[in-house]
Amino acid sequence: MTAYLDHHATTPCADEVLDAMAPYWQQRFGNAASRGHRMGIEARRATETARGQVAAFVGASPKEVVFTSGATESNNLALLGMARAAMRAGRSAHVVTVATEHKAVLDPVAQLLREGAGATVLPVDGQGLVDPDDVAAALRDDTVLVSVMAVNNEIGVCQDLDAIGAVCGARGIPLHTDGAQAGWTGLDLGGTPVDLVSLSGHKIYGPKGVGALIVRRRRPALELEPLQYGGGHERGLRSGTLPVPLLVGMGAACELVASERSVQGPRLAALRDRLWARLDAVGGVSRNGAPGAPHNLNVSIEGVEAQALLVAVRDVVAMSTGSACSSATLTRSHVLVALGLSDEAVATSVRIGLGRSTTEEQVDEVADALVAKIDELRGLSHLYE
C-alpha cells in the first residue's frame, strides 16, 4: 500500500470525526438558524459545542470564532475585510506580509493593491525566517494589518509570532496569522499576541469545506468588511446557512489533535529526523528552511528532478514538490525562490509531510525507495556528475 506523506495538502478524516458528524447528515439535520423547533435548537447547540472546541484549540473565547469554508476564505476575510473597512471609512490602508506566505494571503494582498491599498511584502533569510525588526521598519501610520504565517506549508518554518506580535502591539496594529499548518505545533492566544487566526478543518483530520477565523476581542474593536451578505450569520461577518455536520467535524478534529499533540509532536519529529538521516547519508541532499513543524521535511536532491522522482516512487509513497495550490499549475515554488535557492535547487526539491498514520516501518520503506531511485536517476541525469 502506498504510504501517504502529503499531509500538508490534506489529511484523512479521523474515525472519531466521522462518528461525530454522522448523526447530523440525516437524523439531526436541522438548520441552526431555526430556533422555533427542537430540530433547529438541537443543531444550534451542536454548532455552539463545535465553536467551543475550536476556541479551546487555540486558547480563544467561543465568541471569537467565526466559521468559514476554510483557511482561504478566512485569510481573505482578514486581509480584505480589514483593509476595505478602512477604505470605506475614507482612510488609506496599508498591509504588511511576507514573501513566503501561502497564495491565499499573497493573492488577496495583490487584489488590495488593485483596489488602491498599499502593501509591503517582506523578504526572509536563507532559513525562511522574517526579521521582526523588518516588520517594525515596514509599519506605517496607515498600516491596518500585518499577516505572518505561523507554520509555513512548504518548509515547516515557525515564525516568531511572539516577537512580531510585540512589535505590532506596540503600535496598536493588529496581527493576523494563517494557522492552517499549526496543528501539531499549537497556537496559544493566551500567551501569543495575535489578533486574527485562520484555521482549516481538513488540515487537522477534519472535513474539507470548513474553517474558521478567530477574531479577538480588543479595544478598539477590529473592524472587518464582510465578503458576503445575506442573513447576518456569524455576527454579520459571514452570512450563509451553517453546515452543521462540517462544523461538528471541525470541532471534533480540533479536540482530537489538541489531545494528541503532546504525543504525536515528538513522535513525528523522531520519524522526520529518521528519514532525514537516511537522505542526508546519500550525499548531495540539502534541507530547506529552519527546522520547525515536526511533520515537515523539505529537501533539494542534487541531480534529481523532483517530478521524475515523484513518478519513480509513486507506487511506494505519495508526496509533493510543494504547495498543492502551486502544484495544480506546475509553477515554481515561490517559497523556495524567496529563500534564495538556485533554479536547480528549486527544481529538485520535494516536500514530505508525515501524519498520525505514519509508522516507522513506512518511513524505512520510503527511505529505501528514495535512496534507490536517487542513485538510479542520478545515473541518468545530465544535472549530476
Asked if the 15-255 domain carries CATH number 3.40.640.10, the reply is: yes
In this prediction, residues 33-51 reach a mean pLDDT of 90
pLDDT, tens only, 299-313: 999 999 999 999 999
What is the percent of the chain where pLDDT is above 70?
A: 96
Rounded CA-CA distance 139/82 in Å is: 15
Instruction: List the alpha helices (DSSP H) in the chain.
Output: 15-21, 38-58, 71-88, 103-114, 132-138, 161-171, 244-280, 306-312, 324-327, 334-338, 343-347, 360-380
- The answer to whether residue 382 scores a pLDDT higher than 70 is no
**Of 329 and 358, the one with more pLDDT:** 358
Rounded CA-CA distance 150/266 in Å is: 19
Q: Supply the pLDDT for residue 321.
A: 87
In this prediction, residues 266-276 reach a mean pLDDT of 98
In this prediction, residues 18-24 reach a mean pLDDT of 97
pLDDT, tens only, 52-73: 999 999 999 999 999 999 999 9
**158 belongs to the catalytic site:** no
Q: Per-domain residue ranges for the chain?
A: 3-9+261-380, 15-255
- The answer to whether residue 257 scores a pLDDT higher than 90 is yes
Q: Supply the pLDDT for residue 122.
A: 98
- Given a contact cutoff of 8 angstroms between Cβ atoms, the answer to whether 183 and 257 are in contact is yes
- The answer to whether residue 27 scores a pLDDT higher than 80 is yes
Neighbouring-strand partners of residue 296: 353
- The answer to whether residue 328 scores a pLDDT higher than 80 is no
- The answer to whether residue 284 scores a pLDDT higher than 60 is yes
Rounded CA-CA distance 339/99 in Å is: 9
- Given a contact cutoff of 8 angstroms between Cβ atoms, the answer to whether 178 and 24 are in contact is no
One-letter amino acid of 217 = R
pLDDT band at residue 98 under the 50/70/90 scheme: very high
- The answer to whether residue 324 scores a pLDDT higher than 70 is no
Question: pTM of the predicted model, to two decimals?
Answer: 0.94
- Given a contact cutoff of 8 angstroms between Cβ atoms, the answer to whether 252 and 260 are in contact is no
Neighbouring-strand partners of residue 247: none
DSSP, collapsed to helix, strand or coil, labels residue 169 as helix
DSSP, collapsed to helix, strand or coil, labels residue 287 as strand
Q: Supply the pLDDT for residue 95.
A: 98
**Span of 128-132, 226-230, 270-274, 326-330 with lowest mean pLDDT:** 326-330
pLDDT, tens only, 238-252: 989 999 999 999 999
- Given a contact cutoff of 8 angstroms between Cβ atoms, the answer to whether 175 and 193 are in contact is yes
- The answer to whether residue 28 scores a pLDDT higher than 60 is yes
Rounded CA-CA distance 102/123 in Å is: 14
pLDDT, tens only, 341-358: 999 999 999 999 999 999
Q: In what order do the strands lie in the sheet with 196-200?
A: 65-68, 211-215, 196-200, 175-178, 143-147, 94-98, 118-122
**Grid cell listed for 263:** 504525543
- The answer to whether residue 323 scores a pLDDT higher than 70 is no
Q: Which long-range CB contacts under 8 A does 231-236 form with residues at least 24 apart?
A: 231/33, 233/33, 234/66, 234/67, 235/66
Cis peptide before 294 (omega within 30 of 0): no
Q: Supply the pLDDT for residue 385.
A: 60
pLDDT band at residue 120 under the 50/70/90 scheme: very high
Asked if the 3-9+261-380 domain carries CATH number 3.40.50.620, the reply is: no
In this prediction, residues 95-114 reach a mean pLDDT of 98
pLDDT, tens only, 139-156: 999 999 999 999 999 999
Catalytic: which of 13, 168, 254, 325? 325
